[in-house]
Amino acid sequence: MSRVQTVPHSPARQWWLKWRFHLNILLILVPLGFMPKYFADMRLFRGEDGLGQHVQADIPVGRWSVSLAEMRDEPPLADGPAGYFKTFNAALCATCDEGVKAIYLRVGKPRSLRAAGSILFGSQYRMATSLPIPQRTRPDALLWITIEGWDGNMYQASVPLADASPATAAWLAKQGDKR
């Protein structure tokens, strides 16, 4: 008859063997910690928190009006060698969907329709674009909104970048030595 001999474990090992199962609880607790941020993000992406931060409401552009807001109150984000980008959201006025072909956003006045800036995409009530912010932009630069109409004309308006995104203006002021 064989005899089984139990080897006594060290106290640390005993503690580990007894409690390791409870690591499962961590699997529930860790995601819980991230939930407030997750839900805040979801509200932001769905537009339940409005268009964004520092909303510039009803900027008249041609016969339309556009509301513009930065997605988050933060400086531009680097995208590798492509430079720095800032996400802006925009909405056309609720009753003016007629005649607008495309809406563009640019730092500084566009030279032509071809170079009108980055295009806003999405539904007319909530469009978004990733706007390149050149590092040598002056903090007092203007954000130009260009509407390309189906009539072939360009309609333009501008707002100070410092109003639309104070964080970007502050960031640009810090980039001064790179200009």
Q: Which is nearer to other proteins, 57 or 119 (CB)?
A: 119
Query: End-to-end distance of the chain based on CA atoms, in angstroms?
Result: 88
According to DSSP, the β-strands at 100-107 and 126-132 are unpaired
Query: Is there binding between residue 42 and other proteins (CB under 8 A)?
Result: no
Q: Which is nearer to other proteins, 5 or 151 (CB)?
A: 151
Contact string (CB under 8 A) for other proteins, positions 86-115, x = contact: ----------------x-x------xx-xx
Whether residue 105 contacts residue 90, with contact meaning beta carbons closer than 8 Å, is answered with yes
Count of residues of this chain found to bind other proteins when the rule CB under 8 A is applied: 21
Question: From the CB of residue 114, how many other CB atoms can be counted at a distance below 10 Å?
Answer: 6
Instruction: Tell me, letter by letter, the H, E, C secondary structure of 60-94.
Output: EECCEEEEEEECCCCCCEECHHHCEEEEEEEEECC
Query: Is there binding between residue 168 and other proteins (CB under 8 A)?
Result: no
Query: Is there binding between residue 26 and other proteins (CB under 8 A)?
Result: no
Binders of other proteins among residues 115 to 154 (CB under 8 A) are 115-121, 129-130, 132
Q: What is the DSSP letter of 45?
A: H
Q: Which is nearer to other proteins, 57 or 113 (CB)?
A: 113
Query: Is there binding between residue 53 and other proteins (CB under 8 A)?
Result: no
Rounded to an integer, what distance in angstroms lies between the CA atom of residue 82 and that of residue 90? 23
> Residue numbers of the site for other proteins (CB under 8 A)?
79-83, 85, 102, 104, 111-112, 114-121, 129-130, 132
